[in-house]
Amino acid sequence: MNERFDALRAALAARPRAKLGFFPTPLYRLDRLSRELGVELYVKRDDFSGMSLFGGNKIRKLEFLLGDAVAKGCDTVFTYGATQSNHAMQTVTACRRLGLTPILYLNAYVQPDEQDIRSNMLLDRIMGAELHVVESLPGETEAQTEARCRELGRVHAVALQGQGHRCYDVPMGGASPVGSTGFIGGYLEFAQQCEELGLKPDYVYTATGTGGTLAGLVAGHRLLGGQEDIVAIAVSPKDTGYEARCAELGNQALALLGEGGRLSAADFTVDRDYYAPGYEQPNEAATKAIRLLARTEGLLVDPVYTGKAFAGLLDHVRTGKIPQGSKVVFWHTGGATALFAEKEILGELTQAD
């Protein structure tokens, strides 16, 4: 295994990379909740990735994405997401660290109140990002609004390039082959930690949105011969082609590291049963999961991503999909800033139970 580790480490080191995060992030056992659930439950704390208090899984991707931007001589970075996007905020943070200008095109799933700007949008403003909030047109789907954001960003970038700027485009969630290499590296880090701890997990659970994190994890898992099952809990609607797109993304990331394509849709397990009623829309199971984890372990997850993913994990334990005595790792991708977002995102968390 050490030879595999060394080879992958060397391949990753050959890619342009910006030093942004504090790695490795902690991996440890949740003792009280393990006793309550009857499984050995561990957490991988990518919410501790840095570089500010508000880190998360996007930092691993941004090390490679913005490393690529710097290597190409870019001075301006465009990216996209919801108004409360963790990815957009972490991109702004990383840009400020590297002296790049961040420009955001954000679609309003939840309409922000200009008199009470909260959470990630507040952080974006404190850091001086150029913000463009794009409202959905009548009859427009979320996908159509997102596409319009990207087109507005493209036109803006063309104009800036005409003025002599060099612009770099980061897709929503950092979900690109370059970004996903960060989570191939993340899986390498995890595998090394497991070896040092003598831990052989049966399952790894994580949230999935745009798919870049999941693609990298599964690619790293396959490359290093991981034996645990990786289970992703969807936080937004996914069509039947989602797994195939994740596989293609993972294969393209592997190709950047000199590895042949080896993933297919069958390598991805995505549970779509826990996101309802929709993205950035709370549900009762996530609310209960957030409270349980907070009250047993003092650990905070959010109502958009990690709360729904943890609700899925809990239900899989309680219904026997995860057998008693199993070793389970919850990959905490960050996002607790959403606990300070608009009440439409928080739902029943704002009320006493």
Check whether residue 92 and residue 163 sit in a common domain. Answer: yes
Number of domains forming the structure of the chain: 2
Check whether residue 36 and residue 153 sit in a common domain. Answer: no
Backbone angles phi, psi at 299, to 5 degrees: -115, 130
Candidates 85, 119, 176, 326; catalytic one: 85
pLDDT > 90: percent of the chain: 93
Check whether residue 87 and residue 230 sit in a common domain. Answer: no
* Whether residue 34 lies in the annotated active site: no
CA-CA-CA-CA dihedral for 32, 33, 37, 38, to nearest 10: -50
Please give the chain's pLDDT, 353 residues, in tens.
688 899 999 999 999 999 999 999 999 999 999 999 999 999 999 999 998 899 999 999 999 999 999 999 999 999 999 999 999 999 999 999 999 999 999 999 888 989 999 999 999 999 999 999 999 999 998 889 999 999 999 999 999 999 999 999 999 999 999 999 999 999 999 999 999 999 999 999 999 999 999 999 999 999 999 999 999 999 999 999 999 999 999 999 999 999 977 899 999 999 999 999 999 999 999 999 999 999 999 999 999 999 999 999 999 999 999 999 999 999 999 999 999 999 999 999 999 88
Check whether residue 165 and residue 182 sit in a common domain. Answer: no
pTM of the entire predicted model: 0.96
Q: Which H/E stretch holds residue 168?
A: strand 167-169
Rounded to the nearest angstrom, the gap between the alpha carbon of residue 259 and the centroid of all alpha carbons in its chain is: 24
Check whether residue 192 and residue 340 sit in a common domain. Answer: yes
Check whether residue 109 and residue 138 sit in a common domain. Answer: yes
CATH code of the domain containing 94: 3.40.50.1100
220 Cβ contact partners less than 8 Å away, ≥ 6 residues apart: 8, 183, 184, 185, 186, 187, 188, 191, 226
Check whether residue 234 and residue 272 sit in a common domain. Answer: yes
Check whether residue 52 and residue 62 sit in a common domain. Answer: no
- In which domain, by residue range, is 107 found? 58-174
Q: Is the CB of residue 339 less than 8 Å from the CB of residue 302?
A: yes
Instruction: Give dist(CA 220, CA 16) in Å, integer.
Output: 18
pLDDT of residue 234: 98
Q: How many CB atoms lie within 10 A of CB 20?
A: 25
Instruction: Give 126-143 pLDDT, tens digit per residue.
Output: 999 999 999 999 999 888
